[in-house]
Amino acid sequence: MMYLIPYLKIFVLGSSRLQNFILLIPIQNETVLRGTNMKKNFDILIIGGGHAGSEAAWIASQFDLQVGLISSPNASLASAPCNPAIGGIGKGQVVREIDALGGLMGIVADIAGIQYRTLNESKGFAVQSTRVQVDKDLYTKNAEELLSTVQNLTIIREMVQSVERENSFFTITTEAGNKITAKKIVATTGTFLAGKLHTGENQTAGGRVECKESVGLNELFNEIKTLPNRFKTGTPPRLDRKTIDFTKLEPQNSDSTTRNFHSLNSPFNRNSKQISCYLTKTNSETLSIIRANKERSPIFNGQIKGIGPRYCPSIEDKAFRYTEKDVHHVFIEPEGLDLETIYPNGVSTSLPKEVQESFIRTIQGLENAKILVHGYAVEYDVVDTSQLSKTMEYISIPGLYFAGQVCGTSGYEEAAGQGIIAGANAALALLGKNPLILDRNDSYIGVMIEDLVTNKRDEPYRLFTARSENRLYVREDNTIPRMRKYRKELELASVLDDYQEEFLEEVSLLEKLVDSTMFYSTIENKGYFELQNYGPLEINISFKELLKRPNNNPIDVLDRETKRLGIAFDIDVIRTVAISTKYEGYIDRAIVESERINRLGKKKIHWESLVDSKNISFECKLRIKTIRPETFAQLQRIEGIRPATLAYVAGNII
Amino acid sequence: MIFYPDDCPIIACSTGTLSNTAIAVIRLSGFSDLLSLQPYFSFALKKVKPRFSHLTNIISNHQIFDNGLLVFFPKDKSYTSENVLELSVHGNQLNIQRILDLFINSAGFRAAHPGEFTYRALKNKKLSLSQVEGLDMLLNANSNLMLTQGLDILQGELHTQYLSLYDSFLKVKAAVEISIDFSDDVGEEQSKILFDNSFSHFSKILDSLHARSEGNVSSLLSPEVVLVGQTNAGKSSLFNLLVKQNRSIVSNIPGTTRDYITELIHIDGTNYKLVDTAGIRESNDFIENIGIHRAFEILNRAFFKILIINPFETNSDYLDKLSGVEFDILFISHSDIDDFYKATSLLDLSKIHANFIASASLENGSIGPISASHFLLGPIEPFSKYGPIGPHSQSAPTEPKLEKCSGPIEPLVKNHLSSKFKALTSNSPILLDRHRQCINTLYLKKMDFINKINNINDIAIVSSELNIFSQYLSELIGILSPDDVLNSIFENFCIGK
- Mean pLDDT in chain B? 77
Neighbours of A460 (CB within 10 A): 24
Task: Give the SS3 label for residue A366.
Answer: coil
Instruction: Tell me the one-letter amino acid at B326.
Output: E
Give residue A164's pLDDT.
86
Give residue A530's pLDDT.
93
Percent of chain B residues topping a pLDDT of 70: 78
Instruction: Write down the domain spans for chain A.
Output: 238-379, 495-588, 602-652
**Calpha distance B486→B116 (Å, rounded):** 12
Q: Is A594 exposed, middle or buried (0-12, 13-18, 19+ CB in 10 A)?
A: middle
Instruction: Tell me the one-letter amino acid at A427.
Output: A
Per-residue pLDDT averaged across B192-213, rounded?
91
H helices present in A258-312, as ranges: 284-292
pLDDT band at B4 (very low <50, low <70, confident <90, very high): low
**Calpha distance A420→A403 (Å, rounded):** 9
Superfamily of domain B218-425: P-loop containing nucleotide triphosphate hydrolases (3.40.50.300)
Closest CB to A650 among B177, B456, B474: B474
Give residue B478's pLDDT.
66
Task: Give the SS3 label for residue A180.
Answer: strand
Neighbours of B346 (CB within 10 A): 11
**Calpha distance B215→B227 (Å, rounded):** 21
**Calpha distance A175→A72 (Å, rounded):** 11
Name which of A211-215, B147-151, B262-266 the model is least confident about: A211-215
- To the nearest 10 degrees (0 to 180), the angle between helices A643-652 and B157-181 is 130
Tell whether omega for the bond before B369 is within 30 degrees of 0, i.e. cis.
yes
Interface check B455 vs A, CB under 8 A: yes
Q: Give one word for A432, left, alpha or beta, with left for phi > 0 and alpha for psi -120 to 50.
A: left
Per-residue pLDDT averaged across B259-280, rounded?
74
Interface check A493 vs B, CB under 8 A: no
How would CATH label the architecture of A495-588?
A: Orthogonal Bundle (1.10)
Interface check B177 vs A, CB under 8 A: yes
Element (H, E) at B309: strand B304-309
pLDDT band at B425 (very low <50, low <70, confident <90, very high): confident
Nearby residues of B412 by Cβ (< 8 Å), 6 or more positions away: B358, B367, B405
Burial string for A169-183 (b: 16+ CB within 10 Å, else e) reads ebebebeeebebbbb
Give residue A19's pLDDT.
34
Q: Is the pLDDT of residue B248 over 50?
A: no
Contacts of B185 in chain A (CB under 8 A): 328-329, 346
Q: Which of A503, A624, A469 is nearest to A571 (CA)?
A: A503
Q: Is the pLDDT of residue B292 over 80?
A: no
**Calpha distance A380→A197 (Å, rounded):** 9
Cross-chain residue pair B455–A643, CB shorter than 8 Å: no
Q: Is the pLDDT of residue B395 over 70?
A: no
Per-residue pLDDT averaged across B209-224, rounded?
78
Note the ipTM here.
0.80
Element (H, E) at B346: helix B340-346
pLDDT band at B191 (very low <50, low <70, confident <90, very high): confident
Residue A648 C-beta-side C-alpha neighbours within 13 Å: 20
Cβ-contact B279, B296 below 8 angstroms: no
pLDDT band at B161 (very low <50, low <70, confident <90, very high): confident
Task: Give the SS3 label for residue A56.
Answer: helix
Closest CB to A600 among B162, B179, B480: B480
**Calpha distance A260→A131 (Å, rounded):** 10
Cross-chain residue pair A651–B184, CB shorter than 8 Å: no
Q: Is A237 exposed, middle or buried (0-12, 13-18, 19+ CB in 10 A)?
A: buried
Cross-chain residue pair A644–B163, CB shorter than 8 Å: yes
pLDDT band at B283 (very low <50, low <70, confident <90, very high): low
Q: Pick the residue from chain B with its C-alpha nearest to A588.
A: B464
**Calpha distance A235→A582 (Å, rounded):** 40
H helices present in A266-344, as ranges: 284-292, 315-321
Q: Which of A85, A73, A72 is nearest to A412 (CA)?
A: A85
Interface check A648 vs B, CB under 8 A: yes
- Min CA distance, B381 vs chain A (Å)? 57
Gyration radius of chain B over CA positions: 30
Nearby residues of B152 by Cβ (< 8 Å), 6 or more positions away: B134, B158
Residue A30 C-beta-side C-alpha neighbours within 13 Å: 0
**Phi, psi of A342, rounded to the nearest 5 degrees:** -120, 135
Handedness of CA A516, A522, A525, A529 (dihedral sign): positive
Name which of A487-496, B285-294, B358-367 the model is least confident about: B285-294
Q: Is B374 exposed, middle or buried (0-12, 13-18, 19+ CB in 10 A)?
A: middle
The residue among A91, A118, A127 with the most chain B CBs within 10 A of its CB, best to mutate, is: A127
Instruction: Write down the domain spans for chain B.
Output: 10-128, 139-215+431-477, 218-425
Query: Helices H, strands E: what count in chain A?
Result: 23, 22
- Min CA distance, A127 vs chain B (Å)? 6
CATH number, domain A238-379, options 2.40.30.260, 3.40.605.10, 1.10.645.10, 3.40.50.10490: 2.40.30.260
Neighbours of B159 (CB within 10 A): 26
pLDDT band at B487 (very low <50, low <70, confident <90, very high): low
Q: Which of B274, B323, B261 is nearest to B303 (CA)?
A: B274
The residue among B2, B180, B202 with the most chain A CBs within 10 A of its CB, best to mutate, is: B180
Q: Is B201 exposed, middle or buried (0-12, 13-18, 19+ CB in 10 A)?
A: middle
Give A226's DSSP letter.
Answer: B
**Calpha distance A320→A306 (Å, rounded):** 17
pLDDT band at B372 (very low <50, low <70, confident <90, very high): very low
pLDDT band at B2 (very low <50, low <70, confident <90, very high): very low
**Calpha distance B87→B84 (Å, rounded):** 10
Return the C-alpha torsion angle A589, A591, A595, A596, nearest 10: 20
pLDDT per residue as tens digits for the range B304-353: 999 888 888 877 777 777 877 888 888 888 877 888 777 777 777 777 88
Cβ-contact A59, A424 below 8 angstroms: yes
Closest CB to B461 among A124, A466, A648: A124
Give residue B375's pLDDT.
39
Gyration radius of chain A over CA positions: 26
Q: Which CA distances in Å does B317 have to A5, A318, B314, B320, B348?
A: 92, 77, 9, 5, 11
**Calpha distance A637→A385 (Å, rounded):** 14
**Calpha distance B473→A535 (Å, rounded):** 36
Per-residue pLDDT averaged across B87-109, rounded?
92
H helices present in A549-654, as ranges: 554-564, 571-601, 607-612, 618-627, 632-637, 643-652
**Calpha distance B227→B275 (Å, rounded):** 6
Closest CB to B460 among A124, A589, A606: A124
Give residue B303's pLDDT.
86
Give Dmax over CA atoms of chain B in angstroms: 88
Cross-chain residue pair A550–B479, CB shorter than 8 Å: no
Strand duo A179-187 + A400-402: pairing: parallel
Q: Which CA distances in Å does A87 have to A130, A260, B184, B263, B494?
A: 6, 11, 14, 75, 62
**Calpha distance B275→B302 (Å, rounded):** 9
Instruction: Tell me the one-letter amino acid at A409.
Output: T
Residues of chain A with pLDDT under 70: 1-39, 213-220, 593-594, 596-600, 615, 639-648, 650-654
Cβ-contact A632, A601 below 8 angstroms: yes
pLDDT band at B488 (very low <50, low <70, confident <90, very high): low
Q: Pick the residue from chain A with its C-alpha nearest to B175.
A: A466
DSSP-based helix, strand, coil % in chain A, nearest 5: 40, 20, 40
Give residue A642's pLDDT.
62
Q: Give one word for B445, left, alpha or beta, with left for phi > 0 and alpha for psi -120 to 50.
A: alpha
Q: Which CA distances in Å does A175 have to A32, A215, A628, B265, B452?
A: 17, 11, 39, 95, 65
Cross-chain residue pair B467–A590, CB shorter than 8 Å: yes
Q: Which CA distances in Å does A394 have to A219, A224, A384, A389, A467?
A: 16, 8, 10, 7, 24
Order of strands across the sheet that contains A113-119: A85-87, A129-134, A113-119
Give A409's DSSP letter.
Answer: B
Name which of A203-207, A296-300, B8-12, B425-429 the model is least confident about: B425-429
Q: Which of B100, B73, B102, B105 is nearest to B86 (CA)?
A: B73
Neighbours of B456 (CB within 10 A): 15
Class of domain A602-652: mainly alpha
Selected residue with higher pLDDT from A197 and B130 = A197
Per-residue pLDDT averaged across B292-302, rounded?
74
Return the CATH fold of B10-128: Gyrase A; domain 2 (3.30.1360)
